[in-house]
């Protein structure tokens, strides 16, 4: 099923889009990575009713409901589709499961021969279910709330497909890529093509903005960063820009550090999301490219709360908010976050006066 979004009425202003179009606004828009999730009691209740985590992702009514929960509580400027980056390998036929408290498990693809198990032509059926969630959200969200669609970047998704689970060093994927760059490149090509199809479907269904999560960009030396992060992301962005010229794309190359500027220049993204370790002065220098930066409040400071939270919010806003900027965390909210600290954060950002 392809569902098309209704056009945005001309009087609706989604302030989230301003920085992405190069315009600074004060106070800046705010949303938080993993703003829907286990720190919210209402999420835990819906999650329990849905069954498994993937059952929740593939239930458009409940997935839309958990997307809306943090919007109702905090009035964020953007909602992010509730789904997961590992929906893509699942759609390709590499069945994915999430073990309670242990994270994802996949039947690993350790060499080019195993790529035969993937069925890109069958993925559309799964993508259509997720796009139904997007279409529901476009109907149910407040008109001024932007809707973010997303996928994982090919490199990060490949690390899970090759490793079969999360790891801190992505050793299996890096080894495959060194041993057989051509074979690994075939996997990346499959992911580029299917990600374009998936993201394009999300835009047609009503996503206003797209974010590409490259959570493990940090583990590659520069030549490999070019082959497996820059080049595939650039291909995805270029094709999306042709198909949907008005739809901004945010890149999140977590840990890219000294390669962030290159990422911003080469990939064609409209904004870069920065992790917690990125110095604010580097984020400042990235703003000089005329593109927006997003980030990079520490999710653990959100757990701690108190005066330290307020101080850091002010420091970030003082340094970055006069140029195109989106307030966010440097990585996702962790489950032990007290919901009232999120309220404190949002209040502090909203009260900001330069
Ligand atoms: O609110 C949102 O941000 C939207 C939903 C969203 C989820 N995952 C929900 C989720 C998004 C955008 C993601 C992205 C994602 N998923 C990434 C990239 C961002 C990042 O965090 O680095 C990655 C690497 C994944 C893969 C993934 N999903 C792992 C490793 C895990 C297990 C770890 C964990 O936190 O449990 C997940 C599960 C997951 N994805 C949960 C949620 C809310 C928790 C599962 C549950 O509720 O049982």
Q: What is the pLDDT of residue 11?
A: 73
Whether pTM exceeds 0.85: yes
- Cα 34 to middle of ligand 1, angstroms: 7
Q: What is the pLDDT of residue 100?
A: 81
Pocket test for ligand 1, best of 59, 84, 274, 299 (most atoms within 8 A of CB): 84
Please tell me which residue in 38, 73, 105, 284 is annotated as part of the active site: 38
Measured from the CA of 100, which atom of ligand 1 is nearest? 48
Q: What is the pLDDT of residue 1?
A: 47
Pocket test for ligand 1, best of 30, 32, 34 (most atoms within 8 A of CB): 34
CA atoms within 13 Å, Cβ hemisphere of 260: 30
> What domains are defined for the chain?
33-269 (3.20.20.210)
Q: Which residues line ligand 1 (CB under 6 A)?
A: 33-38, 47, 53, 80, 82, 84-86, 98, 103-104, 150, 166, 213, 215, 332
Q: What is the pLDDT of residues 75-123, one digit of tens each?
A: 999 999 999 999 999 999 998 999 888 899 999 999 999 999 999 999 9
Residues of the chain with pLDDT under 70: 1-10
Q: What is the pLDDT of residue 330?
A: 98
CA–chain centroid gap for 352, Å, is 26
Judge contact between 291 and 284, C-beta under 8 A.
no
Active site residue 38: yes
Cα–Cα distances in angstroms (integers) from residue 228 to residues 104, 174, 181, 184, 309, in the given order: 22, 10, 10, 9, 36
Q: Which residues does 121 contact at the CB level (< 8 Å), separation at least 6?
A: none
Measured from the CA of 101, which atom of ligand 1 is nearest? 36
Please, which residues bridge with residue 178 across strands?
Answer: none
Q: Which residues does 212 contact at the CB level (< 8 Å), separation at least 6?
A: 150, 151, 152, 153, 195, 233, 236, 237, 249, 250, 251, 252, 269
Q: What is the pLDDT of residues 164-189, one digit of tens each?
A: 999 989 999 999 999 999 999 999 99
């Amino acid at each position: 099923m392809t569902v098309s979004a209704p056009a945005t009425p001309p009087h609706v202003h989604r302030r989230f889009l301003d920085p992405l179009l190069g315009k600074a606004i004060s106070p800046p828009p705010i949303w938080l990575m993993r703003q829907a999730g286990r720190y919210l009691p209402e999420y835990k209740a819906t999650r329990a009713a849905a069954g498994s985590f993937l059952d929740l992702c593939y239930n458009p009514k409940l997935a839309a409901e958990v997307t809306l929960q943090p919007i109702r509580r905090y009035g964020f400027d953007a909602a992010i589709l509730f789904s997961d980056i590992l929906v893509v390998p699942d759609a390709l036929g590499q069945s994915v499961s999430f073990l309670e408290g242990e994270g994802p498990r996949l039947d690993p693809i350790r060499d080019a021969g195993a790529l035969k198990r993937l069925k890109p032509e069958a993925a559309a059926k799964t993508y259509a279910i997720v796009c139904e969630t997007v279409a529901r959200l476009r109907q149910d969200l407040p008109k001024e709330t932007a809707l973010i669609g997303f996928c994982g970047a090919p490199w990060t998704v490949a690390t899970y497909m090759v490793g079969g689970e999360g790891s801190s060093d992505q050793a299996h994927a890096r080894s495959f890529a060194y041993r057989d760059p051509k074979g690994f490149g075939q996997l990346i090509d499959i992911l580029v093509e299917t990600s374009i199809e998936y993201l394009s479907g999300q835009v047609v269904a009503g996503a206003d903005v797209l974010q590409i999560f490259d959570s493990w960009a940090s583990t590659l030396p520069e030549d490999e960063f070019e082959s497996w992060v820059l080049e595939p992301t650039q291909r995805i962005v270029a094709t999306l820009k042709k198909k949907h010229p008005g739809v901004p794309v945010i890149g999140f190359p977590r840990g890219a550090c000294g390669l962030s500027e290159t990422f911003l220049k080469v990939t064609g993204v409209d904004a870069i999301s920065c992790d917690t370790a990125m110095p604010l002065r580097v984020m400042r220098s990235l703003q000089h490219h005329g593109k927006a930066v997003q980030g990079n409040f520490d999710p653990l400071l959100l757990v701690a709360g108190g005066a330290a939270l307020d101080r850091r919010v002010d420091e970030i806003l003082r340094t970055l908010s006069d140029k195109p900027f989106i307030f966010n965390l440097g990585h996702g909210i962790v489950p032990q976050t007290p919901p009232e600290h999120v309220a404190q954060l949002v209040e502090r950002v909203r009260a900001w006066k330069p």
